[in-house]
């Protein structure tokens, strides 16, 4: 079963420390897991990447709609 994300804090170099509802936490290197192309292109901008938050209703990391 998937666990909800309850905490995220954007760091430099496209890293995201995340904590899940069951207490498991770690740092995700987004640059190593996603190509900044297509719908992911905006998060390649460091200022936009820094706007990452948790969407509590969905239990996931999200960014503002860039349009």
The answer to whether position 67 is within a domain reads no
Q: Is the confidence at residue 50, as pLDDT, over 80?
A: yes
Region 43-48: mean pLDDT is 96
| 9 lies in some domain | yes
- The pTM of this model reads 0.88
Residue 39 lies in a domain: yes
Place of tokens 């890293």: 15
Number of domains, the chain: 1
Residue 31: which domain range? 5-62
Q: Is residue 30 part of a domain?
A: yes
Backbone angles phi, psi at 14, to 5 degrees: 60, 40
Positive or negative, the CA dihedral 62, 46, 18, 40 is: positive
pLDDT score at 65: 86
Given this model, what pLDDT does residue 41 score? Answer: 94
> What is the per-residue pLDDT for 67?
67
Please report which helix (H) or strand (E) contains residue 19, including its range.
Answer: strand 15-20
């Amino acid at each position: 079963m998937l666990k909800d994300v309850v905490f995220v804090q954007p760091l430099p170099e496209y890293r995201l420390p995340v904590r899940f509802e069951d207490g498991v936490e770690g740092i995700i290197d987004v640059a190593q897991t996603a190509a900044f192309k297509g719908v992911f292109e905006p998060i390649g901008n460091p200022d936009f990447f820094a706007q990452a938050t948790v969407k509590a209703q969905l239990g996931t990391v999200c960014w503002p709609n860039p349009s």
